[in-house]
Structure 1
Amino acid sequence: MASKILIPIDFHVESLNTLKLAMNHLETYEVDVVLMYAEDLDNSITELLFYNPKKIIESHRTNEFDEAISILKNRFETRIRSISYAIFHGYRVRLIEDFMKSKEIDDIYLPKSYQLQMPKKGFDPIPLIKKSKLHYKELDWEAGVYDSEELQLNALFIY
C-alpha cells in the first residue's frame, strides 16, 4: 500500500535533501510525494481572477530544480509513484491542518537545520506545522556544504 508524504520546499535544490533522506528512512515501499510551497495570496481582484497555481509553480521552478527532481525520480524509481506540487496560502494553524487533511497526507518530513529560503512572496510554513497537532518527522543533513546548485545536484547521488 502506498503512503503519501509531504515535503515543504523553497525551489532550491538543497531543500530536496529532505525528500532524499525521507526516501532512505521510509519503510513503505511505494510513495506519493507532495512538494508544498507556501505563498501569500494577493488581495487584488485582478490577481484573484487570474489565479493559476500551475503558473505560480512554473515561475519558481529552475532547470537545476527540475533536474534534481529527475535525479530523485530515477534514483527511487521503484519507490516513488508520483511527485506533485501543492501551494498553501494561509497563516493559521487550522488552515494547515485542513490542508493536510484535504491532501490525505500520511507523513510530513521537515528539514531540521536547513532554513527554507523563500522567494519574494513565499513564506516558511514549518512554524505553522510545528504549532499544529500534525505529526511530523525532522530530518537533518549538513546544510550549506555545497555552495552551488550544481554541487547540490551532485550531492543527491550520494547516500
Structure 2
Amino acid sequence: MKKKTILIPTDFSVKSLNIVKSALSINGDCELRILLVHGLELPDSMTDLLLFSKKKLLEELETKEFRASCQMLISKYDSNLIELSVDIFSGYNKRAFENYIEANEVDEIYALADHDFLPRHKSSFDLMPFINKSSTNLIKVKWMSLGENFKQERDELSGIFFNQLSSI
C-alpha cells in the first residue's frame, strides 16, 4: 500500500478536521500520515523563549471537542490512517515553510476553499499565504449545500461524520 504525508492547516476547530475525512476518502488506497498544522509566532523575549513549551501550548489550544474528534477519526479510519498529529509552524517566510514541508516529507496539502481564518491565540497567523505559494500539490476542498443548519452542524463534533465535501 502506498504511503503519503498530508498537511492540513488547523484552527483547532472540529470544522478543520472535516478536511481529514475528505483526504482519507480521496486516498482510500493509501496509508496516510496526516499533519494538522497551526501557524504561531514564537515569543521574542529570551525569558519567554526559555519558558516556551510546545506541548503545553498545544494542550491549551486544543478543545475537548477537537481531541474527541481526532480520536473518532483515528478509530474509524485506523486501517489507512497511520498517524494523526498536531504541530505548530512558526516560520516567517516562504523558504521556512518549504523547509518545514521538506523536513516532514509532505506529499500534499489539503485546505478549505472557503477558508476563513480564526486565530486561536494572540500569536496565531494564517498559513494560507504560505500554502498558496508552496510548490507542494494543493487540494482545495469545498463544502456542498451550504445552508444555515449545515453551517452549524459542520462546526459541531457530530458534524464530522455527517457532511458533504468535494475537492475542486
What is the CA distance between 1:158 and its match in structure 2?
2.3
Listed one character per residue, the Cα deviations across residues 5-51 of structure 1 (whole Å, up to 9, x for unaligned) are 11110011111111111111115421111110110111010111122
| Distance apart, 1:134 and its partner CA | 2.5
The aligned residue for residue 158 of structure 1 is: 162
Corresponding residue SS for 2:19: helix
Alignment of 1:20-99 (within 5 A): 20-99=21-100
Count how many residue pairs are aligned between Structure 1 and Structure 2. 158
8 Å Cα contact 1:110-1:136 kept in structure 2 = yes
Mapped contact 1:22–1:139 kept (Cα < 8 A): no
Q: Which runs of 5 or more structure 2 residues have no equivalent in the other structure? A: 164-168
Query: Corresponding residue for 2:123?
Result: 121
RMSD over aligned Cα atoms: 1.9
Displacement of 1:66: 0.6
Specify the code of the residue in structure 2 equivalent to 1:155: G
For 1:28 and 1:107, how far apart are their aligned partners in 2? 15
Q: Indicate yes or no: 2:142 matched with 1:137.
A: no
- CA deviation profile, 1:73-113 (whole Å, cap 9, x unmatched): 12212111111122101231111101100111111111111
Contact 1:6–1:108 (CA<8 Å) still a contact in 2?
yes
Query: How many Å separate the matches in 2 of 1:81 and 1:134?
Result: 21
CA distance in structure 2 between the partners assigned to 1:118 and 1:28 by the alignment: 34
TM-score of the two chains, using structure 2 as the length reference: 0.86
Q: How far did residue 114 of structure 1 move?
A: 3.1
Residue of structure 2 equivalent to 1:147: 152
Structure 1 spans left out of the alignment, 5+ residues: none
Tell me the equivalent position of 2:166: none
Q: Percent identity?
A: 30
